[in-house]
Amino acid sequence: MNTRMRRAAFAVAAGAMAVSLAACGSAKQSGGGSSSASSGAKKGDAIKVGLLLPENQTARYEKFDRPLIEKKVKELTNGKGEVVYANAKQDASQQNQQVETMITNKVDVLIVDAVDSAAIQNSVQKAKEAGIPVVAYDRLAQGPISAYTSFDNETVGKTQGEALLKALGDKAKSGKIVMMNGSVTDPNAAQFKKGAHEVLDGKVNVGKEYDTKDWKPENANTNMEGAISALGKQNIVGVYSANDGMAGGIITALKAAGISNIPVTGQDAELAGVQRIVSGDQYMSVYKPYAPEADAAAEMAVALAQGKSLDSVAKDKVDSPTTKQVPSVLVPVQSLTKDNIKDTVVKDGVYTVADICTAQFKAACDKIGLK
Ligand code: BGC
């Protein structure tokens, strides 16, 4: 059994969880600020939430995760809660420093999307010792976290693999595919890769496979150039890319080599990715709705800061390499191709058709009936 995260354990664990949550979940909201200096002081709406995001080259963090979490915290605290924000710009030691600063500044709770899920462990421990609960956001940080929210990341990888197989059809084994995975410091990357391999192994020939340092599009671009020269451009039938940012770098390399019309996968439903899907340069992305993930993080963080139970929000349980049965919220994902742009990102208000179909993409939008 997969030791990291499994719902199978949920039923067995539910009873035990209820007990342990009851032990720490009996505090009542006091209605305004803290009234005593003891560590068990009840918190009202005037809470301070520390938010730590891992990088800013991938669009989602500044464009969606941060503003959505800030909005939800405000909403849940009658406008009184404050979010203190820091972005680690892909630097794990800087992120540890940021946790220290937040502890010094006495935040009531932390929401952390770790650059490096192992390197953050000591900081999580220190926060706990300072009485500050940590919600692991999107990536499963190691150490004594109190809650976790993400998507089912193995399913993300499977969704990508299945879409690639569908796009390849009977050409699946007629050449080689290239696999561009994410950063080894990100536990999600390992799960995307695992899910993708589960679907693809035996059905395609993997010519080259990379773990991409820091998830950087420019590193994916360099690796793709290497793969093209090693395999020969006529031999590549498709590319598994773990996210849209890297797909951008990969597609630039493919175009420079004169390769077109091969399927490339992605993830995040970034605007640039959706536009490449419209123009046909990218085959698919995985749409992970940010709002429910951000809302879950905010709800759990506010509840933890106020000493309330997570029962009504966290219906799942996940094991990390260090911590078992973490109360969790896992949000479902959807494959995004040119056929369902309207039913996904447009319907959910992530983008309007006008955002996607700018002058440059107008003709392509018309062609696929996106208006
Ligand atoms: C996230 C992806 C993101 C990637 C690079 C992963 O942990 O789940 O949405 O594209 O990191 O930042």
Residue 225 has pLDDT above 70, yes or no: yes
For the CA of 242, the closest atom of ligand 1 is 10
Residue 31 has pLDDT above 50, yes or no: no
**212/260 same-domain check:** yes
The pLDDT confidence band at residue 42, using thresholds 50, 70 and 90, is low
| Residues 164, 97 share a domain | no
114-165 pLDDT, tens digit each: 999 999 999 999 999 999 999 999 999 999 999 999 999 999 999 999 999 9
The answer for residues whose C-beta is within 8 angstroms of residue 5's C-beta and 6 or more apart is: 140, 318, 319, 320, 328, 330
Write out pLDDT tens, residues 16-26. 333 333 333 33
Same domain membership, residue 93 and residue 35:
yes
Q: Does ligand 1 lie within 6 Å of residue 317's CB atom?
A: no
**200 lies in the same domain as 348:** yes
Token readout for 280 is 């046909």
Per-residue pLDDT for 32 more than 80? no
60, pLDDT greater than 80? yes
Neighbours of 144 (CB within 10 A): 17
243 Cβ below 6 A of ligand 1:
yes
Residue 312 sits in the same domain as residue 233: no
Q: Is the model's pLDDT at 277 over the cut of 70?
A: yes
169 and 36 in one domain? no
Q: How far is the CA of 214 from the centre of ligand 1 (A)?
A: 10
Taking the centre of ligand 1 as the mean of its atom positions, its distance from the CA of residue 261, in whole angstroms, is 26
Instruction: Compute how many other C-beta atoms are within 10 angstroms of the C-beta atom of residue 74.
Output: 16
* DSSP of 36-86: -SSTT----S--EEEEEE--SSSTHIIIIIHHHHHHHHHHHTTT--EEEEE
CA distance 136 to 3: 18
- Ligand 1 centroid from CA 40, angstroms: 35
Domain that includes residue 165, residue range: 153-287+335-367
DSSP 215: G
Q: Report whether pLDDT(217) > 60.
A: yes
Query: What pLDDT is stored for residue 35 in this prediction?
Result: 37
Whether residue 191 has its Cβ less than 6 Å from ligand 1: no
Average pLDDT estimate for 326-332: 98
Ligand 1 site, residue 159, Cβ cutoff 6 A = no
Tell me: do 143 and 163 sit in the same domain.
no
- Answer yes or no: do 256 and 122 share one domain: no
Mutational pocket test of ligand 1: of 149, 215, 250, 350, the residue with most ligand atoms within 8 Å of the beta carbon = 215
Same domain, 123 and 185: no
Tally of domains within the chain: 2
Between 323 and 42, residue with greater pLDDT: 323
Same domain, 84 and 158: no
Q: Let me know whether 312 and 352 are in one domain.
A: no
Residue nearest to atom 9 of ligand 1 (CA): 268
Q: Is the CB of 186 under 6 A from ligand 1?
A: yes
Identify the pLDDT of residue 313. Answer: 96
pLDDT in tens, 101-115: 999 999 999 999 999
CATH number assigned to the domain comprising residue 242: 3.40.50.2300
Q: From the CA of 306, how far away is ligand 1's center (Å)?
A: 29
More confident residue, 33 or 63: 63
Q: What is the pLDDT of residue 43?
A: 83
- The protein residue with its alpha carbon nearest to ligand 1, atom 7, reads 188
Mean pLDDT calculated for residue range 271-300? 98
For residues 219 and 91, membership in a common domain is answered with no
**CB of 268 sitting under 6 A from ligand 1:** yes
CA 346 to ligand 1 centroid distance, Å: 21
Q: Which two tokens stand for residue 362?
A: 């107008």
């911590």: which residue's tokens?
323
**pTM over cut 0.85:** yes
Q: What percent of the chain is modeled with pLDDT above 70?
A: 89
> Cα separation of 230 and 206, whole Å?
13
pLDDT(369) > 60: yes
Average pLDDT, the chain: 91
Mutate to test the pocket of ligand 1, among 185, 186, 219 (most ligand atoms within 8 A of CB): 186
